[in-house]
Structure 1
Amino acid sequence: MEMNDAAVRNKPKSKTQALLEVFAVSTKLGLTSFGGPIAHLGYFHDEYIRRRKWMDERSYADLVALCQFLPGPASSQVGIGIGIIRAGLLGGLTAWLGFTLPSVIALVLFAFLLQGFDIGHAGWIHGLKIVAVAIVAQAVLGMGQKLTPDRNRATIAIVAASVTLLWQTAFSQVLLIVLAGAAGLLLYRKTTIPETPNLSVPVSRSFAVVCLTLFFGLLIVLPLLRQFGALDWLALFDSFYRAGSLVFGGGHVVLPLLEREVVPTGWISKEDFLAGYGAAQAVPGPLFTFAGYLGAMISGVKGALIATAAIFLPAFLLITGALPFWNALRKSPKVQGALVGINAAVVGILLAALYNPLWTTAILAPADFALVSILFLMLVFWKLPPWVVVITGAIGGTLIGLI
């Protein structure tokens, strides 16, 4: 399958040169891309499309649409897709490594800092928990305005939030996503689909089928192996793989999935979980690298490697498996209708997470509420970068601890 004209015009002289180029550019983005998945897509457009012209505008828009349709970290999947188109499957892996490693390393070091100095109850750690409340509240507001603009979708969201709070199991969220997809199919199956260009990618349909089969196979087999085996690394891999497989709507939605995988099992305390989540807002790159922090807290460097690989593996399998079929799928009103319902449920699941564990753990006094209000103001109305909000939250938490 031929690549788009822009990519052909800028094709590197050798495969090695292509891989080195992809790694260099993606690492630059991994070191500088603050602000969450929407901001990441802007950074990608500026670097990959406007400056380097590795893809044309319409193909990039098509790739973004696919990654927003799939579960998983959308910005990471876009980066993987661009790497695949630029330098094949190895290019996709290289692009992911460059974009992901900087924040993984930073969060693993933070995990060791927490363990080595026993600062889990410090005031600035409490401030990071309050930062997490403000960040997720901003995400709920933004996603709610975009994904639940009418009565039907708002109803799906509130029902999903209520069920999530009252029936707190990993299975409940899977069932909610399935039921919301069915509701969306019923209510929005006649959605008008605008004309869209085809996306040209160098992946065969046969290899794509292998990736999709492996994605679903691991989702089914890993829990079974975990039941019959006593291997700690297998249980860790299963938990993070499942979390990475079931996240619709962006990085923040992984919060409730991961919390239910690692806190009730006793792998990590709720306080350390929320402290790490707050710290994850201060580093560039994808929010899914929060898994590296959790893995390090659970089982050191080995745990960080296992957790990071497991949570991102579904993203790699899905983007590689879906690319050749996306042109047909995205033109189906039924598929689009189901997605409408799923996205509405995602808003509800995230709303539930905003209350429990975030609000119930971090907002314990009037001073906490005052600080989270200021941080929310900075994010939503002042439009300040997340790292500024994180520093402010840490300072505010320290001051509250002195009162």
Structure 2
Amino acid sequence: MLKIGSHVSFSDKGLLSATAEAASYGSSSFMIYTGAPQNTRRKPIDSMFLEEGRAAMSAAGIQLDDIVVHAPYIVNLGSYKSNIYQLAVEFLQEEIRRTHAIGVKNIVLHPGAFTDKDADYGIDRIAEGLNEVLNGTSETDVNIALETMAGKGTEIGRTFEEIARIIEKVEHNERLTICLDTCHIHDAGYDIVNDLDGVLEEFDRLIGLHKIGVVHINDSKNPIGSHKDRHTPIGTGWIGFEAINRVVHHEKLAGKPFILETPWIGKDAKTQRPMYEAEIALLRGTAAERLGESYLTEVEQLHQFFTQQDIHPRAFVISTWELLKNDPKAKKADPREPLERLYDLVVEASLLPHLNEEQINQRLIGWLAAHDLKLQA
């Protein structure tokens, strides 16, 4: 089975609640933060419901080796400020011990940013920090998965070359793996839509495909090379469903855990829902099995409706993003993104009135996917 899941919360009951959420989406892997991703406050290990969580994972058919931990965003090993750098080193050492206690083998890390210095300084500083972190956690078998970055601001990891230079400078680099993020490398300028094989060949030449420990699968709100890092549900961005589907089924990435980090959507921020269940089922080719036989019929209804409106999936998505990017007046007058515009058209036409907002959006994701690939029961 394709090892695919999503980011899930690690809240009141730790690993137990995270597993329950992942299973509700049909996940066979998942990624957690052991606390809030915006800070370094963490609960004691003994409050993580680890034993109960592992039992729930076993019951759901989820393997511990396919689970990933993500370090918080604010950790910055590239900082020239000693207090920020030291906090990053010490926190990562403790986070690796927490990850080891859970039984997970990879912790994803944004490499860091050089802020007021330069890229060479940032690479050296990050490598220095990784050496400290790894040397201080030699009792564990946890790897640090350096994430490929989009290149916004002064962040390091925007090219495969930068990551390769970091790896070369780390003493125990056998404990370094890579988290390949589709939105990030697209925004960094790698053409995974038209030349996925070429991108993977370049990665293999500079770093080695064997180093990939996890793949984040996200669509992008921005065109290639934009250096923005803004995720959107699969099929609703510049990458598109077909290209993402080629990534998750590529023979050179077989056996890797794939993790969705696509945003939750909905008119009301308080009731927004993720598209994880539909995205996972569509990428597996099990939409009817997971979402019901009527799902395919309702996707076909959307297809007929939009065909009558002369709306074509990829053209509509791209033209909407181009409008929002290039025409400030139009964006101010109507800031709705592609999926929201499609949803409004469906509701205005009283199409599929028996479905709620989440269900309509799930079928819109299916319609976007069905343009390029035949849905499989």
Greater helix share, structure number: 1
Greater strand share, structure number: 2
Larger RCO: Structure 1 or Structure 2 (Cα < 8 Å, ≥ 6 residues apart)? 1
Do they fold alike, i.e. is TM over 0.5? Answer: no
TM-score range, shorter-chain basis?
A: under 0.3
TM-score for the superposition, normalised by structure 1: 0.25
